[in-house]
Amino acid sequence: MAEPYSGAASAASAAEPSSSSNEPDSSKLQYLEQKYGSKAAHVHLSQPEVNAMVDKVLRDSPTVQYLLSSLQMGGCGVGRPFFHVTRCADDVGGGFSTDYGVILCHNKLSTYKEVELAVAHELIHAYDFCRASNLDLTNCHHHACTEIRAANLSGDCSFYQEFVRGNLSEAMVGQHKRCVRRRALLSVSLNPHCQGGKAEQAVSDMMKHCLRDTDPFPRVPGM
């Protein structure tokens, strides 16, 4: 992306190690596959497909529309040219750069829902840069906070997304919080300034405060 971490290189749709031991039981798995389709059925989208989905997301997604309105009210309004669809080498579904805007990786995205979540995730980063002029992603604690917020507020840790990743467990209490921590750590660990245990420490330090910070939403959407 842009120069030294001028944007949030986030793992909005990052691949994770397989967690087959956490698969739901067969009856629950059958229900989920009937409702959402099997994981094996998910294939990566083309650039034109993702561009069309971005248009629909910007028009129809309540979460994304709320974020766009909040950016506008904060003096940081963005339009369609802010969103770019490209092919990416890194195993992430998207990213945010203060230089370029929201970047979506069509070869890492498989469904409309993933596109919607990636757009929301990156717009939360954009909102954080809008509201905090001193946000510095070379500071691991700053980076951890915006990643915690993006994972918490975008829908990235929904029941279905965790099913697709194979990260559901029988202990459903606390599942959302565990997901937020894991997803934030996955992103911050990509930061070259946060190696050698710094990412894990920063996420641990910031979880309590940044999990409570739902701005601009009154509460976590969908919960």
Task: Indicate which residues carry an active-site annotation.
Answer: 122
Burial of 210 (0-12, 13-18, 19+ CB in 10 A): buried
Phi/psi for 12 (5° steps) reads: -60, -35
β partners of residue 86: 105
Contacts of 185 (CB under 8 A, 6+ apart): 199, 200, 203
Does an H or E element contain 8, and which?
strand 7-8
Q: Helices 47-60 & 112-131, crossing angle to 10 degrees? A: 60
- What is the longest distance spanned by two Cα atoms in the chain? 50
